[in-house]
Amino acid sequence: MVNFRDQLGRTIHIDSPPRRIISVVPSQTELLYDLGADAEVVGITKFCIHPEHWFRNKGRVGGTKKIDFEKVRSLEPDLIICNKEENEREQIEKLMELYPVWVSDIKNLEDAVQMIISLGDLIDKKEKAGKLVEKIGQEFKKLEFIKTNQAVRTAYLIWNNPIMCAGTDTFIDEMLGLCGFQNIFSGSDSRYPEIAIEELGRQNPSLILLSSEPFPFREKHIREFRQACPKAIIKLVDGELFSWYGSRLQYAPEYFLNLIKSL
């Protein structure tokens, strides 16, 4: 048995390396694929859409917030990978009673990089994890020229009816800052505050970003928000590149640069 610490500071005991892994976090599922854990991963959620052939062929254990414990049991995992924010606490704690569970807690880029390194160590893929972290670091250097003192006042919306946005202490807030966008709701009490459209109008953002997930904003929503904020630039954006903190991070800076140029 080998001991590992997760990002909650918990120590887990596993037979190393694990041979039957379940991931209930979409971005970390994709990371496991890019680290070369095809044979080891036996279960994923219905929201783990990348890579597509895993989505079609791997065992499914329900959703990120509604895990099917009977399906988990049938897959006989020796490691389950969860996330503090994306999974329900009660379900994670129940899994902890039955299996080794490694939990990530991601609020910024540094947390994400450490998670990649830790998972590489955990599943015996250190070399690939190291190369990936190096690539992510090189890509994010492309954003270093951005002057944050000239930040664009921005609202990043993640849900509609009710309207919800990314607030303080979130990974999305970190990505917005690296892009030179000032999140106008970063000072809110809630990490994902619910707001009325009138409040959005009063805040008068220069830029409104409508995410593709978890709510799939479309062109029709641009017209709706333009009525409340007629002077704002309103853009549909790829939510995966703003909120997925696994291997997809290597593609985020180039996407951000193209978004900034489009403004």
Instruction: Confirm if 226 and 232 have CB atoms less than 8 A apart.
Output: yes
The whole-number pLDDT of residue 51 equals 98
pLDDT greater than 80 at residue 50: yes
- Give the span between the Cα atoms of 16 and 31, in whole angstroms: 19
Reduce the DSSP state of residue 50 to 3 states and report it.
coil
Q: Would you state the pLDDT for residue 189?
A: 87
* Average pLDDT for 23-32: 98
Give the span between the Cα atoms of 142 and 115, in whole angstroms: 22
Task: Supply the pLDDT for residue 222.
Answer: 96
CATH 3.40.50.1980 location in the chain? 2-140, 145-262
pLDDT tens for each residue of 72-120 = 999 999 999 999 999 999 999 999 999 999 999 999 999 999 999 999 9
Say how many Å lie between the first and final Cα of the chain, rounded: 53
pLDDT higher than threshold 80 for residue 149:
no
CA angle in degrees (0–180, nearest 5) for 122-38-121: 15
The enclosing H or E element of 3 equals: strand 2-5
Among 39-48, 143-152, 204-213, 215-224, where is mean pLDDT lowest?
A: 143-152
Mean pLDDT of 188-196: 94
- One of 3.40.50.1980, 1.10.1740.10, 3.40.50.740, 3.40.30.10 is the CATH number of 2-140, namely 3.40.50.1980
Q: What single letter denotes the amino acid at residue 114? A: Q
Contact (Cβ atoms closer than 8 angstroms) between residue 20 and residue 39: no
CA distances from 142 to 9, 107, 123, 179 (A): 32, 21, 30, 10
The whole-chain average pLDDT of the chain stands at 96
pLDDT score, position 147 = 72
- Strand order, beta sheet including 101-104: 59-60, 41-44, 21-23, 79-83, 101-104
The Cα 113–Cα 123 span in angstroms is: 16
pLDDT of 86: 97
The tens digit of pLDDT for each residue in 134-148 reads 999 999 999 998 876
Spatial distance between the Cα atoms of 41 and 54, rounded to a whole number of angstroms: 9
Phi, psi of 132 (to 5 degrees): -65, -45
- What six digits make up the tokens of 180? 């030179």
pLDDT of residue 150: 74
Among residues 183, 8, 155, 177, which one has the least CA distance to residue 81?
8
Task: Map residue 131 onto helix, strand or coil.
Answer: helix
Report the top-level CATH class of 145-262. Answer: alpha beta
How do beta strands 79-83 and 101-104 pair? Answer: parallel
pLDDT over 90 for what percent of the chain? 94
Sign of the four-CA dihedral 145, 171, 128, 52: negative
Q: Which residue has the tokens 């000239």?
A: 150
pLDDT in tens, 217-245: 999 999 999 999 999 999 999 999 999 99
Task: Identify the helix (H) or strand (E) that includes residue 103.
Answer: strand 101-104
Distance CA 157, CA 163 (A): 7
Nearest to 30 by CA among 88, 87, 76, 81: 81
- pLDDT of amino acid 15: 85
